[in-house]
C-alpha cells in the first residue's frame, strides 16, 4: 500500500497553481495525486495519479482519499486548490440564486472541510517525520469585499476561519494548516496575476517547515511570506 515516497494530494488541479505545485513536489520526490472533474483516470502514470471528482459534491472526498491511500499511500500534504465564483449583481448581492450560492459554498468551504477531516485521519497514521500539512489556496476576500463576488468571499472567509481554528487546535500534534494568499509587494491583491510557479515554491517550503507558522500565509512572488495589515 503506502510507498516509501511521500504523497501529496491536490484537490483542484488547474493548469496554473495546481500543475506548478504538482511539479514542485514531484521534483522533491513526492508522488502526486490530482483530483478534479476534468481529469481522466486512464491518464495516470507511475508517479502521478489522476482522479475524476466533482468537488461540488462533498461526498466524493472520502472516495478520493481512499483511492489515493490504496494506490499511492496516505498523503502527508493535502492542497485544497478548488474555487468557485458565481457573479452577482453588485447592487443586489442577495439576488444570487440559492442553487448557485450553495454550489459555490460547497466547493469553497464544505468540501474543503471534509478534505481537512480526511487529512487529519491520515496524519494520525503517519510517522512523526512526515510533513502533515494542509494548505488552502485562498485570496484577499477573507479581509475585504469585491462587490460582484459575494459567494466567493463568503466561502473564503468561512474557510479562513476553519483554517485558523485548525492551526491553533492541532499544532501541538504536528499537524499544520495554512490559508495562502498571493499578494503584490504593496499588499494589494494579485487577482489574475497569480504565479503558479511562486505557489509551487512557496507551498513546498511550507511543507518542509517542522512547526506551524502563521495560519494566514500572505506571500509575494520572489519574496515569500510577508505580513500585511488587515484591510
Cα–Cα distance, 215 to 176 (Å, whole number): 8
- Catalytic-role residue among 31, 132, 156, 176: 156
Phi-psi label, residue 81: left if phi above 0, alpha if psi -120 to 50, beta otherwise: alpha
Backbone φ and ψ for 162, nearest 5 degrees, come out as -60, -45
156 catalytic? Reply is yes
Cα–Cα distance, 64 to 51 (Å, whole number): 7
Q: Could you please report the per-residue DSSP string of 73-109? A: ---SEEEE---------TT-GGGS-HHHHHHHHIIII
Cα–Cα distance, 52 to 54 (Å, whole number): 7
- 118 and 126 Cβ atoms separated by less than 8 Å: no
Strands (E), the chain: 7-11, 31-36, 48-52, 77-80, 133-137, 176-183, 216-220, 224-225
Give catalytic residues, as residue numbers.
Answer: 156
Amino acid at each position: 500500500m503506502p510507498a516509501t515516497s511521500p504523497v501529496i494530494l491536490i484537490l483542484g488541479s488547474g493548469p496554473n497553481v495546481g500543475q506548478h505545485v504538482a511539479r514542485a513536489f514531484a521534483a522533491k520526490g513526492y508522488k502526486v495525486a490530482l483530483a478534479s472533474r476534468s481529469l481522466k483516470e486512464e491518464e495516470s502514470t507511475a508517479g502521478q495519479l489522476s482522479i475524476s471528482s466533482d468537488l461540488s459534491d462533498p461526498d466524493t472526498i472520502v472516495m478520493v482519499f481512499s483511492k489515493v491511500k490504496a494506490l499511492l499511500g496516505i498523503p502527508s500534504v493535502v492542497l485544497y486548490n478548488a474555487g468557485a465564483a458565481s457573479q452577482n449583481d453588485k447592487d443586489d448581492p442577495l439576488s444570487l440564486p440559492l442553487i448557485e450560492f450553495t454550489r459555490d459554498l460547497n466547493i469553497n468551504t464544505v468540501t474543503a472541510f471534509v478534505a481537512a477531516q480526511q487529512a487529519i485521519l491520515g496524519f494520525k497514521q503517519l510517522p512523526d517525520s512526515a510533513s502533515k500539512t494542509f494548505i488552502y489556496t485562498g485570496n484577499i476576500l477573507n479581509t475585504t469585499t469585491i462587490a460582484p463576488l459575494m459567494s466567493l468571499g463568503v466561502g473564503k472567509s468561512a474557510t479562513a476561519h476553519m483554517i485558523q481554528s485548525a492551526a491553533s487546535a492541532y499544532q501541538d500534534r504536528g499537524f499544520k494548516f495554512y490559508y495562502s494568499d498571493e499578494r503584490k509587494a504593496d499588499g494589494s491583491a494579485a487577482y489574475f496575476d497569480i504565479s503558479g510557479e511562486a505557489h509551487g515554491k512557496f507551498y513546498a517550503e511550507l511543507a518542509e517547515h517542522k512547526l506551524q507558522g502563521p495560519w494566514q500565509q500572505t506571500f509575494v512572488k520572489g519574496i515569500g511570506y510577508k505580513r500585511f495589515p488587515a484591510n
